[in-house]
Amino acid sequence: MLELRSYVGGRWIAGTGAPQTLLNPTTEEPLAQASSEGIDLHAALQYARSSGGPALRALSFAERGAALKAIADAIQSEREALLDLGIANGGNTRSDAKFDVDGAIATLLSYSELAASMGQGKFLIDGEGIQLGRSARFHGQHIAVPRHGVAVHINAFNFPAWGFAEKAAVALLAGMPVLSKPATSSAMVAHRIMELITERKVLPEGALSFLVGSVRDLLSHLGGQDVLAFTGSGETGAQIRSSPNVIRHSVRVNVEADSLNAAVLGPEVEPRSDMYELFLKDVVRDMTQKAGQKCTAIRRVLVPQEWYSSVKQDLAELLGAIRIGDPKSEDVRMGPLASGAQLADVREGIERLGGKRAYSTTAHLPTRGFFHSPVLLEDASDAVHEREVFGPVATLLRYKDNPAEIVTRGAGGLVSSVYSDDQEFIERMVSALAPYHGRLFLGHPKVELSPGPGTVLPQLVHGGPGRAGGGEELGGPRGLAFYMQRVALEGSRPVIAKLLGK
Amino acid sequence: MLELRSYVGGRWIAGTGAPQTLLNPTTEEPLAQASSEGIDLHAALQYARSSGGPALRALSFAERGAALKAIADAIQSEREALLDLGIANGGNTRSDAKFDVDGAIATLLSYSELAASMGQGKFLIDGEGIQLGRSARFHGQHIAVPRHGVAVHINAFNFPAWGFAEKAAVALLAGMPVLSKPATSSAMVAHRIMELITERKVLPEGALSFLVGSVRDLLSHLGGQDVLAFTGSGETGAQIRSSPNVIRHSVRVNVEADSLNAAVLGPEVEPRSDMYELFLKDVVRDMTQKAGQKCTAIRRVLVPQEWYSSVKQDLAELLGAIRIGDPKSEDVRMGPLASGAQLADVREGIERLGGKRAYSTTAHLPTRGFFHSPVLLEDASDAVHEREVFGPVATLLRYKDNPAEIVTRGAGGLVSSVYSDDQEFIERMVSALAPYHGRLFLGHPKVELSPGPGTVLPQLVHGGPGRAGGGEELGGPRGLAFYMQRVALEGSRPVIAKLLGK
């Protein structure tokens, strides 16, 4: 069986001890094994800090951007093989796998373009110079410089390619070396990408390390110049945040966690209108794409009392037409969940939400593999505002006057969406929902090829307050701040001007 | 004896139970008592959220700025009485008390001016609009809106006026209601300021609450829209960060903690030069102003081997001329430490640093009160890079080639300073030190009225990575981000344009 290895200290190394087995979630057949036992994580971090850091900092933004382009090219060169791996190891349909792999390429290219616009500098000038005293000689200027540590990235199982790329692109552009750890169960795509990167030698030695298997005691080796970005469950996020070493050294932590993303249908939107159809389409896509395993997927579907039965009936009809099965088949629209653990978690979550099933099916579900029917719930318990069921599951909710009051019971999310053409309603929703979200998607049928709220674009921030973890990634240049130290230079204006090459 | 009260829920309320006694640290006489026992903190926060929040958000930036101006005016109107309170309750010399009170006024006025420039908006536009698709209709725009919670401010004992003002100014301007808690031992100045603010009714009800005494279970009532800014010891900062409720709700926390600020004399700076004299002056000021109780004070004095004896001798001479005693006396340059606990902590810290005393005195120290001699240490242990002694204590360190290597052993600080006219040396220091600091002060004798590295200016960020807590405050408009939620609006360009009033 294929043995996945880690790439640390400038070489590929296999773990020892009992490995974890990676399965094909469609067939439950084992595909590969991985272990991080025996790998010296302290040395791995130190190598990244001492080799990768200085090498990256010696490059200009434009040069770092060229490296990102080269990573995108490497992925592009084996796109078909990576899609096949996503289908096999992730239970992805081909469309799901494209969403992941093409998303990775697009994000890398977006940051590569941003880098080109940032030019030959190696650090950022932050704002205008500031006169501090009565005389112009006493001067201040903020700059942002790369931190001298390692950016540790702990990624979620659902986007092995994109998750790797969206974090790594930003850190590398900022000038920080990365140690990237994919979720083990679906690590084959990220592992192959890492092989491509090392084969092509597109990065300086130490700029990118890769760890498969358990994180073990990784967190206990982090220091005050390191940062950690985590995507996954709120529970694990809390464990990371409360880790004594992370607290002692004020390690910067970014968490993207649970999110009960809501979609609100405006009160004026009549059935069969273009806006109504867009709303249905986005809900169904978010429930079924990647079998609902997207942190941005719509979980709560808020519908005006008046159109409730209509929406329920239409969604049930659309969901009934989704073909579920082996994701290798071209006519299959939804594959299995990514692992047996996820399947168990989804089942437990549906129990927890309670209520009734407005739609679900047992017909045509394969008997092997981690398959689950799409489930549209209604009359659920209050747990619908607390428990993210990470699968093809959403809950219908009626509202009368104030949908925002219902949405904000989710206590902070990554994205919510509003489907309305009533400007007054949109304004009221944005005003009430903005403090609770990292992104608000305003659905409009006139936006062609709209990706819907579930797609994260590199130009916009991705993260959310409260339950969503309080993090923020991407957002074009905004994402760089996490990997840099802002520092105020204070002193004589000519001295500072010379320092900045002016 | 005076009983300090809290202002919560729109009224003044005294605590019950055993109070803490506030002393005059010069005479050890009791001045006042304070307790937070029996105060319903949950209700206090809820009142701020439900009354203060909406009222502040209904104001424009310019209107919030006018309120800050009114607070500054209120402080100015009783400046003399506040200085007297600082002298009595803080052990401040009149100059120390001015540093605190005038610093508060200046910071409020600085943010009031910034507010005027921000105009009639109620939220921030963050960057340019972004075309997201092939067609210009698919559009993105980031904005920043006030969070819907309370900003809890836990301040340090050393700057009761400035500490209150620098945090409150930024939060109120951002549109968040504040609950401010001064350190109990020196709370009289902040308490009087709060009385002035409530007497003059310069803020909407609920916009500013005030808690004296212990924080008790305050943290357990915070939610995902609340934020907490703390200034104090790293140990307490770690306790706050690891509080289960703070972690569970991803409460945003800003910590300003320990910092082993270094001052580096350039290798080319000869004794008796203007640069040299400036260096000595700044070191002596930081050791003695507020009896060294400034989080930005120079703790490590890095001197080239060649000038070591000269600097040691000159500093000892200057320190010997500092008159210590009752801070009410006009010729006294340094008063006592703020409390018996601080005195014990300083004594313990000096023991911990070890080494020898290049300067200290027992002459003329009053026998009552919490007085301590200025102490210049040399040949100290490695603890000098770990243990902040929060008093009139600094340590001399020799360097040969690479002072930055010594400075960064402090593992993250608020500010370090470089005194040199050698541009190549300055560049090398800035490049090596920037990632480890929130501010770098470049000393230059041609900057008239230079405040030295120990003064925090509202226009520049204040905070530092690693040991310093990883926080960031002030920095003009930069400080607002902590109190606001950034959200990406994504959708149809005309809809977003109308939302933003374009």
pLDDT (tens digit per residue) in A320-359: 999 999 999 999 999 999 999 999 999 999 999 999 999 9
**DSSP secondary structure letter of residue A455:** P
pLDDT at A193 over 90: yes
Q: Is residue A17 over pLDDT 90?
A: no
Q: Sign of dihedral through CA atoms A34, A35, A41, A44?
A: negative
Nearest Cα residue in chain A from B140: A460
Of A244, A251, A442, Cβ closest to residue B489: A442
Strands, sheet with A300-304, edge to edge from the N-terminal-most edge strand:
A356-359, A375-378, A393-399, A300-304, A262-265, A413-419, A437-443, B484-492, B138-146, B124-131
Nearest CB to A499 within list B237, B426, B492:
B426
Q: Is A384 helix (H, G, I), strand (E, B) or coil?
A: helix
Decide: helix, strand or coil at residue B495.
helix
Question: Are residues A147 and A227 in contact, defined by beta-carbon separation less than 8 angstroms?
Answer: yes
CB count in 10 Å sphere of residue A179: 28
At residue A1, the pLDDT reads 86
For the whole model, what pTM was predicted?
Answer: 0.97
pLDDT at B501 over 90: no
> What ranges make up the beta strands (E) of B147-207?
151-154, 178-181
Nearest CA in chain A to B431: A145
CB B291 within 8 Å of CB B348: no
What is the chain B residue with the closest CA to A226?
A: B466
Q: Output the pLDDT for position A449.
A: 86
Q: Please indicate whether, in this complex, the C-beta atoms of A485 and B435 are within 8 angstroms of each other.
A: yes
| Beta-carbon separation of A147 and B238 below 8 A | no
Which tokens sit at A305?
Answer: 């009392």
Comparing C-alpha atoms, which of A387, A383, A377, A381 is closest to residue A356? Answer: A377
Q: CB burial class (10 A; 0-12, 13-18, 19+) of residue A112? A: buried
Cα separation, B343 vs B336, whole angstroms: 9
From A366, A361, A379, A354, select the one nearest A321 (Cα to Cα). A361
Structure tokens at B125: 């536009």
Which residues sit opposite B252 in a β-bridge? B227
A461 vs B255: CB contact, 8 Å cut-off?
Answer: no
From B166, B295, B388, B472, the catalytic residue? B295
Among residues of chain A, what percentage have pLDDT more than 70?
A: 100
Return the minimum-mean-pLDDT range out of A131-135, A295-299, B34-38, B488-492. Answer: A131-135
Q: Give the C-alpha distances (Å, rounded to integers) separating A349 from A277, A280, A345, A412.
A: 29, 23, 6, 19
**Phi then psi dihedrals of residue B378, to 5 deg:** -145, 165
All residues of chain A having their beta carbon less than 8 Å from the beta carbon of residue B233 are none
Which of A50, A490, A498 is best to mutate for the B interface (most B CBs within 10 A)? Answer: A490
Instruction: Provide the mean pLDDT of chain B.
Output: 97
Per residue in A142-184, pLDDT (tens digit) is: 999 999 999 999 999 999 999 999 999 999 999 999 999 999 9
Q: Tell me if chain A has a CB within 8 Å of the CB of B497.
A: no
CB contacts, 8 Å: B257 with chain A: 250
State the average pLDDT for chain A: 97
Chain B hits for A225, Cβ within 8 Å: 412, 435-436, 465-466
Closest Cα in chain A, distance from residue B23 (Å):
33
Q: How many inter-chain contacts (A to B, CB under 8 Å) are there?
A: 258
Cα B148 to Cα B48: distance, rounded to the nearest angstrom:
10
- Kindly report, residue by residue over B158-211, the tens digit of the pLDDT: 999 999 999 999 999 999 999 999 999 999 999 999 999 999 999 999 999 999
Mean pLDDT of B365-385: 96
Instruction: Please check whether residue B104 is in contact with residue B162, taking contact to mean a CB–CB distance below 8 angstroms.
Output: yes
CB-CB neighbors (< 8 A) of B137 in chain A? 446-448
What is the three-class DSSP state of A408? Answer: helix
ipTM: 0.97
Q: CA of B96, closest CA in chain A: separation in Å?
A: 21
Nearest by CB to B133, from A140, A448, A475: name it: A448
Crossing angle of the two packed helices B160-174 and B94-118, in degrees rounded to 10? 10
Residue with tokens 């053409």, as numbered in its chain: A421
Provide the strand spans (E) within A316-380. Answer: 356-359, 375-378
The answer to whether the CB of B450 falls within 8 A of the CB of B443 is yes
- Record the tokens describing residue B218, joined without a space: 């305050």
- Output the pLDDT for position B52: 98
pLDDT at site B17: 85
A256 assigned to active site: yes
Q: Which residues contact A480 (CB under 8 A, 6 or more apart)?
A: A124, A144, A170, A173, A174
Predicted pLDDT of residue B219: 97
Give how far A216 is from chain B: nearest CA, Å.
21
pLDDT at residue B502 greater than cutoff 80: no
- Cross-chain Cβ contact A448/B223 below 8 Å: no
Catalytic residue among B256, B388, B472, B473: B256
Q: Given this model, what pLDDT does residue A364 score?
A: 80
Q: Give B251's contacts in chain A (Cβ within 8 Å).
A: 470
Nearest C-alpha in A relative to B149? A435
Determine the pLDDT at residue B455.
97
Is residue B38 left, alpha or beta, with left meaning phi > 0 and alpha meaning psi from -120 to 50? left
Q: Is B444 helix (H, G, I), strand (E, B) or coil?
A: coil
Predicted local distance difference test score (pLDDT) of residue B238: 95
Examine the pLDDT at B119 and tell me if it is beyond 90.
no
B495: contact with A, CB 8 A cutoff? yes
Q: Strand B6-8 to strand B11-13: parallel, antiparallel, or no bridges (unpaired)?
A: antiparallel
A447: contact with B, CB 8 A cutoff: yes
Report the pLDDT averaged over residues B230-257. 95
Report pLDDT for B364: 79
Chain-chain contact of B485 with A436 (C-beta, under 8 angstroms): yes
Q: Are B179 and B72 in contact (CB under 8 A)?
A: no
Other C-beta atoms closer than 10 Å to the C-beta of A199 total: 9
Confidence of residue B438 (pLDDT cuts 50, 70, 90): very high
**Chain A interface includes B432 (CB < 8 A):** no
Question: Dihedrals φ, ψ of B322, to 5°?
Answer: -75, 120
Structure tokens at A500: 């900045």
> Which pLDDT score is estimated for B1?
86
Q: Smallest Cα–Cα separation from A325: which of A287, A360, A364?
A: A364
Minimum distance, in Å, between the CA of residue B53 and any CA atom of chain A: 12
For the question of residue A80 being annotated catalytic, the response is: no
Over residues A280-284, mean pLDDT: 98
Which residue in A114, A416, A430, A487 has the most chain B C-beta atoms within 10 A of its own C-beta, making it the best mutation to test that interface? A487
Active-site entry in A3, A28, A195, A256: A256
Q: How far, in Å, CA of B191 to CA of B7, rounded?
A: 9
- For residue A498, pLDDT over 90 is answered with yes
Establish if B136 touches chain A: CB-CB under 8 angstroms: no
Q: Indicate the helix (H) or strand (E) that contains B72.
A: helix B61-77
Going by C-beta distance under 8 Å and a sequence separation of 6 or more, which residues neighbour residue A161?
Answer: A75, A82, A86, A100, A101, A103, A104, A189, A190, A193
Q: Name chain A contacts of B140, Cβ cutoff 8 Å.
A: 457, 459-460
- Report the pLDDT value the prediction gives residue B362, as an integer from 0 to 100: 86
Distance from CA of A426 to the nearest CA of B (A): 8
Specify the pairing of strand B461-462 against strand A393-399: unpaired
Asked if residue A105 lies in contact with residue A76, where contact means CB atoms within 8 angstroms, the answer is yes
* CA dist list (Å): B199 to A285, A416, A460, B83, B240: 58, 43, 45, 19, 33
Amino acid letter for position A272: R
Cβ contacts (< 8 Å) between B127 and chain A: which residues?
A: 476, 478
A130 touches chain B (CB under 8 A): yes
**Closest residue of A to B501, CA-based?**
A427
